[in-house]
Amino acid sequence: GIIGRYGGDEFVILFPDCPEEEACHRVRELHRRVKEIKIKDEEICISSGISVFPNTCNNPRDILIYANMAMRYSKQNGKDCMTVDSPIVRNAVKMK
């Protein structure tokens, strides 16, 4: 994948030509590996959001917006988890 800092403590990973199932697998693996990292005896947690064109996002220009909303959903619902973009997730984030 291609990784870049999105802002603050947020990062974006692009998986070109990667099916949704494979993207989810890769993010789960990232979560697992990060859990093994300890800084001053504290665990690091990741809240992830996934959006996949064209599965969950019809317009590639919106993919970051929808991935960010899915990530916010993860943060609002327990942190340290992964959420795949959907209309239900978008509506839940907009309502809060």
pLDDT of 30-85, one tens digit each? 999 988 888 887 878 899 999 999 988 899 899 999 999 999 999 999 888 999 99
Average pLDDT over residues 86-90: 94
Give ∠ CA 26-57-61 in degrees, rounded to 5. 100
Confidence at residue 1, expressed as pLDDT on a 0 to 100 scale: 83
Task: Tell me: pLDDT of 96 over 70.
Answer: no
